[in-house]
């Protein structure tokens, strides 16, 4: 009832919590020194805790400044509570205490900074490895997993886009031919578009179009370009959000159009196992949209 709501508490980062804890520690130990402090009691050692917390949360500079603050609060506390006066301060321990606080704060802050840098580099390497795991080994394009992740990210932005699914015509292509096809397609795409390879002869493209008509125009342009280069390919298309609000629905609509157009062009020869994948009447209607 009196505390922060759970979601507000979770929104406070760990470094921010450490800074708050450090401030509370400085205030608490200063109050203890004012009340009970005297030389030899050992309360000066307590100030290492807020110094270390401040250094961990920030870095060597603030850690060193926290050490100066700890020294000031302790020395000021024993002077204010009247147990010692200026002339009674131990001239030998005073500079040693200052150096100890500052050195502790700067050292802990330095290694905390190095640790955060190493962690950031490790996470960057992990991101690169995850990105590579979503890349096709032959064409270096996205895999099906990478395509699905990209579709979901675009859906999350609520911005319209198109999904093109194409299949090369003719015999099974060799690896060098697939790489050439991927290069030809990539050369026609905008920087924000993304290309994926989904199978031995199938490619998919995410394009920044706003309607099914624009997606169709893009697919036809790609077909003409690749046909001129001697690499015929047939595309189906779908547009978000008009034809689906999730990856599976968009992919299904694009594949339906692809199979319908291949059927009409005489490129698809269904076998007994694949004949049920397409209902000829609906896909023929879709192909003529």
Residue ranges covered by each domain of the chain? 6-131, 144-287
Q: Domain 144-287 carries which CATH code? A: 3.30.70.270
Name which of 236, 242, 196, 239 is nearest 219 in CA terms: 236
Each of the 289 residues of the chain gets a pLDDT tens digit; together they read 444 455 565 677 888 889 999 999 999 999 998 888 776 777 888 999 999 999 999 999 999 999 999 999 988 888 887 776 666 666 657 788 889 999 999 999 999 999 888 888 887 776 666 665 667 677 778 888 888 888 888 888 888 999 999 888 877 778 788 888 888 888 888 888 888 888 788 899 898 887 888 888 888 889 898 888 888 889 989 989 888 888 888 988 998 888 888 888 877 665 544 544 444 434 434 444 4
Cβ partners under 8 Å of residue 178, min gap 6: 138, 139, 197
* pTM for this prediction: 0.54
Instruction: With beta carbons less than 8 A apart as the criterion, state whether 16 and 58 touch.
Output: no
What's the rounded Cα separation, in Å, for the pair 268 and 202?
13
Instruction: With beta carbons less than 8 A apart as the criterion, state whether 150 and 206 touch.
Output: yes
What's the rounded Cα separation, in Å, for the pair 184 and 240?
25
User: Hey, what are 51's tokens?
Assistant: 């110094």
58-67 exposure pattern, b = at least 16 Cβ within 10 A, e = fewer: bbbebbbbbb
What's the rounded Cα separation, in Å, for the pair 132 and 153?
18
In sign, the C-alpha dihedral spanning 115, 120, 124, 130 is: positive
What's the rounded Cα separation, in Å, for the pair 124 and 144?
23
């Amino acid at each position: 009832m009196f505390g922060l709501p759970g979601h507000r508490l979770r929104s406070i980062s760990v470094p921010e919590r450490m800074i708050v804890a450090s401030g509370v520690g400085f205030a608490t130990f200063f109050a203890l020194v004012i009340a009970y402090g005297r030389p030899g009691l050992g309360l000066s050692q307590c100030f290492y805790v807020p110094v270390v917390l401040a250094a961990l949360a920030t870095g060597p500079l603030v850690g060193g400044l926290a050490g100066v603050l700890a020294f000031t609060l302790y020395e000021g506390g024993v002077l204010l509570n009247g147990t010692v006066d200026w002339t009674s301060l131990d001239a030998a321990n005073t500079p040693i205490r200052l150096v100890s606080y500052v050195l502790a704060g700067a050292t802990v802050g330095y290694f905390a900074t190095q640790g955060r840098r190493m962690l950031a580099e490790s996470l960057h390497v992990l991101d690169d490895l995850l990105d590579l795991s979503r890349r096709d080994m032959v064409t270096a394009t996205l895999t099906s997993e990478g395509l699905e992740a990209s579709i979901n990210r675009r859906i999350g932005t609520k911005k319209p886009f198109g999904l093109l699914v194409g299949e090369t015509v003719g015999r099974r292509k060799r690896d060098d031919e697939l790489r050439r096809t991927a290069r030809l397609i990539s050369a026609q795409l905008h920087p924000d578009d993304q290309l994926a390879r989904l199978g031995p002869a199938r490619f998919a493209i995410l394009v920044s179009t706003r309607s099914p008509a624009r997606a169709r125009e893009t697919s036809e342009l790609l077909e003409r370009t690749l046909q001129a280069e001697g690499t015929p390919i047939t595309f189906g298309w779908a547009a978000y959000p008009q034809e689906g609000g999730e990856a599976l629905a968009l992919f299904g609509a694009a594949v339906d159009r692809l199979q319908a157009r291949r059927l009409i062009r005489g490129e698809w020869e269904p076998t007994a196992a694949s004949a049920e994948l397409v209902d000829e009447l609906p896909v023929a209607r879709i192909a003529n949209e």
